[in-house]
Amino acid sequence: MFLATLLLAVPLGGYIAKVYGGQDVWTDVIFNPIERLFFKASRIDPVKEMNWKQHLVVLLTLNLIWFFWAMFCLLNQSWLPMNPDHNPNMTPDLAWNTAISFLVNCNLQQYSGETGVSYFSQVFGLMFLQFVSAGTGLAAAAVVFNALKDRTTDKLGNFYNYFLKSCTRILLPVCILVATIHLFEGTPMTFKGIDTMASLQGDTMHVSRGPVAAFVAIKHVGTNGGGFFGANSAHPFENPTYFSNIVQMIAQILLPFAMVFAFGFYCNKKRLAWVFWSVMTVGFLLLVVPAVITEVRGNPYIAHMGIAQPGGNMEGKEVRFGAVASAFWSIATTVISTGSVNAMHDSFMPVSGMDMLLGMMINSFYGGVGVGFLNFFIYVILAVFIGGLMVGRTPEFGGKKIEAREMKIAMIIALFHPFLILSGTAIASYLTAHDTNMGWWFADAAGKHNASGWLNNPSYHGFSEMLYQYTSSSANNGSGFEGLADNNPFWNISTGIVLLFSRFLPIIGPVAIAGLLAGKKFIPVSNGTLKTDTGTFGLLVFAVKVIIAALAFFPALALGPIAEWMKIH
Amino acid sequence: MKNAGKEGLFKKELVLEAVKQSFIKLNPKYQYRNPVMFTVEIGTVVMMFVCGWILSGEHSQGSFAYNLIIFLILLLTLLFANFAEALAEARGKAQAASLRKTREETPAKKIELVGEIFLNEVHIVPSSQLVKGDIFMCEAGDIIPTDGEIIDGIATIDESAITGESAPVIRESGGDKSSVTGGTKVLSDKIKVKVTTEPGESFLDKMIALVEGASRQKTPNEIALTILLAGFTLVFIIVCITLYPFALYAKTPIPISSYISLFVCLIPTTIGGLLSAIGISGMDRALRANVIAKSGKAVETAGDLDVLLLDKTGTITIGNRKATNFYQAPGSTLHELIHAAVLSSKSDTTPEGKSIVELGKKMLADNPLASDKFDKYQSEVTHQVNFTAETRSSGVNLSNGMKIRKGGE
């Protein structure tokens, strides 16, 4: 599966590079007339080049407009059309959280799709946001690609052009293919409401349906992760067979892989792209392998009870997938910040849990569409800086000197991720430890307001639940240890704030750095330049990432998954 | 600038001075400039309070000995960082000080115009006592004590100590090559020099001040690195602070000493402490290679250089215009031209004028008749018009009323 993705991704990367470079591709035939119509209607000139500041202004304005549209849909869905199951309006805090989380490509879902949203909201609100948030990420990455070419300029292409092309040329064709495959596998695609059937026991069961296939496609291709149903890809309708599981896996990883290769093709730095990809792969493998092994070994407590576990740790997992596929999926989904799940993450062993957390804390092994590359770029800047000073030269990347201003931006971005995760978790743990009465902020099913009610598991695993929730928000992942009761004002609002900061700052930062670098004078390669397309440099980048993540997060991990693991053994 | 020989790393005076400085630098106003070490200092102070707190009866923070050891370790870390910086500074200052000493203690042969017994007496005084306007004398083998202008005589001088030029240069009174610099050595002949600078403002003093002053400015890479270090420090402050509620939830109380120790281990203490010492020693290294860096940025740029192109006139070329031949206009003879040219250039002290005189004299030497006539002319000179930059002309007046001028008037 991994190799298949790689084989597909390299040519896709070339295709993406052609799209962004403005060259002709075979999809032009279909989409060019549509795009021209669209641009003419909105009177946007797709040829006018913008500098990096204008790009950011357009990006943020568009996102703001979409946010209001989504809020409108969600708050009014009870009377809007296409609501055959008569699902009610969302509560304001949940609507706020959901709108933000889909806007930022995270798709943290504190609601359950069958009962929480109508088909109208799903299709026109959430699916729409899934497309455009992925498109935003891709377009931002395209801006950075453009800036990293070897020349001095401040004209970096047109954002509207990049964005529309990302949606129509890249996302749409792949989604149509994936959705069609799913239709054949048995995913429902209908606008009718709940169906009823008689179960084996003779009761009548209500079965939710909906326009699932289309939703599933963009969910994975755009590394969104928000499932149509609450159980996400563990639901038999959303992920019917082992084959559809494979297709969804490939669909997820495809674009993040392809973006790295697109960078190589676009900037004519193919070797550098391979170095980047290898660093990411090494990190990914280091996380996947232990997770798969632990899941297959099973839960020591259950073994202690004398129950055989031939399938490994099957708690919370789907039988049609098994432990290996679920473990692989869980690590892949956290590494590329998709966040869809085909098993319940809360039931995984501590080592797998820790690997999932690490994947999100580093957040730049592959990463999400577009923004994964941007995060990786920040680490590259840091590594180049450290490496350059070690050899005694002024640090430079791609022929452009890196000076104090770029370092300031890179440090702020690198700082924000741990800050958001740790301070959020700190507030939550403090409240839980003191078991404070949360009042309006939290009320559990029994009506009590005490903070410790939101945990589903005691002690270390409970801590992991809280840590995971904030890490998932800050990494724009969206999966969760769903033992946590998170549909309440406290969690909705706090994770919403984290989501906002952690999406837009890591876009603004790298685009700013790339824009600043593009405007500098180009220094040609000389004998003393620190070569960035070598294995040594890849090792340096990997080391920088691991050290920063390990040092910043190790204390927190030590009190969560690691403590839990030690308790088990 | 030739420096005073390689000094051992731990010479006693330097070390003592550095030890004293490392305590003085504990002052927060000074530590504040280095964010990493400043946070370590805050940690040290907190540990001091914790120790005091334990002594007064607190039981939840561990034993007194444990906390005291941690406090001492932190204090030693701070002191060592300060020590490294102070030692680097002391070495830099020692270089400059030794340079200054050689200059100040050079003996000068001062000429007293009206002496105690004779006129134009020669007294030997240390060069630091010479003031502007004094006149001193230098002979072959002397070191010129301070900057001045030659008022009498011509000499070859070895200026390699200042300019690095290995070939000796000629300096003489009059013209534009009459100034001499303190610290250079006279190789031949004898000159009388008038001092032109106040003590402490000579060229040498300015260069020493440059070397000392430059080592304290922050270089661009240093600034960027400080930003990086400050960023890391900030991250780890957050990590350590948020550890407290985590521990609260996990019901494992962590004593303050553990927080501070974890914090000091996480932040880049080593780089933060040694960064300023690195900057200073960079300048020092350049000085040892006989390169005077005027700023820290220059040292960094030197590391980026691949090829250095130097263009220096005067080494292979003379760099001045020189007369090579006389071409008479139709209607006058060659010797008339030579006479006129030489006479009008006698009071022209520019290299151009001197070369005309030299060439003329050489050509006249072949022709005794012409040189006799020239001597007759020379004896009839009543008035010399010297060359000035404003008039751009020079010449002579002869007793028979003839005026000979050359130039741009």
Whether residues A38 and A15 fall in one domain? yes
Residue type, B149: E
- Predicted pLDDT at A263: 86
For residue B180, count CB atoms less than 10 angstroms from its CB and return exposed for 0-12, middle for 13-18, buried for 19 or more.
buried
DSSP A103-163: HTT----SS-HHHH--HHIIIIIIIHHHHHHHHHHHHHHHHHHHHTSSS--S----HHHHH
CB proximity list for A10: less than 8 A, separation 6 or greater: A258, A261
- Kindly indicate the confidence band of residue B6, based on its pLDDT and cuts at 50, 70 and 90: very low
* DSSP letter, residue A166: I
Residue A210 lies in a domain: no
Residue A206 lies in a domain: no
Convert the pLDDT of each residue in B195-204 to its tens digit: 888 877 777 7
* Distance, CA of A470 to chain centre: 14
- Predicted pLDDT at B211: 65
A414 reaches B (C-beta below 8 A): yes
A412 reaches B (C-beta below 8 A): yes
Question: Residue B4 pLDDT more than 60?
Answer: no
Whether residues A264 and A307 fall in one domain? no
Percent of chain B with pLDDT over 90: 0
- Please give the Cα distance from A538 to B88 (Å, whole number): 35
* Distance, CA of A487 to chain centre: 21
Whether residues A249 and A367 fall in one domain? no
| A415 contact residues in B (CB cutoff 8 A) | 231, 234-235, 238
- Predicted pLDDT at B5: 40
Question: Residue B342 pLDDT more than 80?
Answer: yes
Low-confidence ranges of chain A (pLDDT < 70): 22, 24-25, 27, 438, 443-449, 451-452, 527-528
| B244 contact residues in A (CB cutoff 8 A) | 426
Query: What's the CA angle centered on A380, arms A541 and A530, to 5 degrees?
Result: 80
| Ramachandran area for residue B251 (φ above 0: left; ψ -120 to 50: alpha; else beta) | left
Q: Measure in Å the smallest separation between the Cα of B250 and chain A Cα atoms.
A: 6
Whether residues A287 and A266 fall in one domain? no
Name the token pair of A299. Answer: 């839960």
Please name the residue ranges forming H helices in A268-403: 270-297, 300-304, 322-335, 350-362, 371-391
Residue A455 lies in a domain: yes
pTM value surpassing 0.90: no
- Please give the Cα distance from A481 to A471 (Å, whole number): 11
CB B120 within 8 A of CB B112: yes
For residue A7, count CB atoms less than 10 angstroms from its CB and return exposed for 0-12, middle for 13-18, buried for 19 or more.
exposed
- Report how far apart the first and last C-alpha atoms of chain A are (Å, whole number): 33
Across the interface, do A463 and B306 touch by the CB < 8 Å criterion?
no
- Rounded to two decimals, the ipTM of the complex is 0.80
Mean pLDDT of chain B: 80
With b for 16 or more beta-carbon neighbours within 10 A and e for fewer, the B39-60 pattern comes to bbbebbebbeebbeebeeeeee
Convert the pLDDT of each residue in B156-181 to its tens digit: 888 877 776 767 888 888 777 888 88
Question: Residue B2 pLDDT more than 50?
Answer: no
Residue A395 lies in a domain: yes
Residue A28 lies in a domain: yes
Whether residues A433 and A559 fall in one domain? yes
> What residues make up the domain containing A104?
2-198+218-272
Whether residues A338 and A192 fall in one domain? no
Across the interface, do A419 and B238 touch by the CB < 8 Å criterion?
yes
Residue A249 lies in a domain: yes
Whether residues A182 and A322 fall in one domain? no
Whether residues A166 and A237 fall in one domain? yes
**B267-270 long-range contacts, CB within 8 A, separation 24+:** B267/B36, B267/B39, B267/B40, B267/B229, B267/B232, B267/B233, B267/B236, B268/B36, B268/B229, B268/B232, B268/B233, B269/B36, B269/B37, B269/B40, B269/B77, B269/B81
- Please give the Cα distance from A290 to A283 (Å, whole number): 12
- Predicted pLDDT at B1: 39
For residue A334, count CB atoms less than 10 angstroms from its CB and return exposed for 0-12, middle for 13-18, buried for 19 or more.
buried
Across the interface, do B245 and A430 touch by the CB < 8 Å criterion?
yes
- Indicate the angle between helix axes A92-103 and A52-75, nearest 10 degrees: 140
Phi, psi of B51 (to 5 degrees): -60, -45
| B299 contact residues in A (CB cutoff 8 A) | none
Q: What is the 3-state secondary structure (H, E, C) of A203-230?
A: CEEEECCCEHHHHHHHHHHCCCCCCCCC
* DSSP letter, residue A436: -
- Please give the Cα distance from A345 to A331 (Å, whole number): 10
Name the token pair of A161. Answer: 């052009």
- Predicted pLDDT at B27: 81
Whether residues A267 and A287 fall in one domain? no
Segment 46-75 of chain A within 8 Å of chain B by CB: none
CB A477 within 8 A of CB A225: yes
Whether residues A368 and A437 fall in one domain? yes
Domains plus CATH for chain B? 12-101+210-304 (no CATH), 131-198 (2.70.150.10), 334-407 (3.40.1110.10)
Catalytic annotation, residues of B: 311
Report the range of poorest mean pLDDT among A148-152, B61-65, B177-181, B316-320.
B316-320
- Predicted pLDDT at A39: 78
| Number of separate domains in chain A | 2
Whether residues A182 and A312 fall in one domain? no
Across the interface, do B239 and A551 touch by the CB < 8 Å criterion?
yes
Residue A425 lies in a domain: yes
Whether residues A337 and A399 fall in one domain? yes
- Predicted pLDDT at B3: 42
Q: Measure in Å the smallest separation between the Cα of B211 and chain A Cα atoms.
A: 22
Beta bridge partners of B109: B124, B137
- Kindly indicate the confidence band of residue B316, based on its pLDDT and cuts at 50, 70 and 90: low
Chain A residue at shortest CA distance from B304: A393
Convert the pLDDT of each residue in B133-150 to its tens digit: 888 888 888 888 888 888
Closest to B233 (Cα-Cα) out of A540, A418, A105: A418
- Predicted pLDDT at A144: 87
Across the interface, do B231 and A414 touch by the CB < 8 Å criterion?
yes
Across the interface, do B246 and A425 touch by the CB < 8 Å criterion?
yes
Q: What would the mean pLDDT of B107-111 be, rounded to a whole number? A: 83
Residue type, B268: P
Residue A211 lies in a domain: no
Cα–Cα separations (whole angstroms), residue A219 to A139, A298, A338: 18, 30, 8
A392 reaches B (C-beta below 8 A): yes
- Predicted pLDDT at B314: 60
**How many CA atoms does the CB half-sphere of A268 hold within 13 Å?**
4
Chain A residue at shortest CA distance from B282: A392
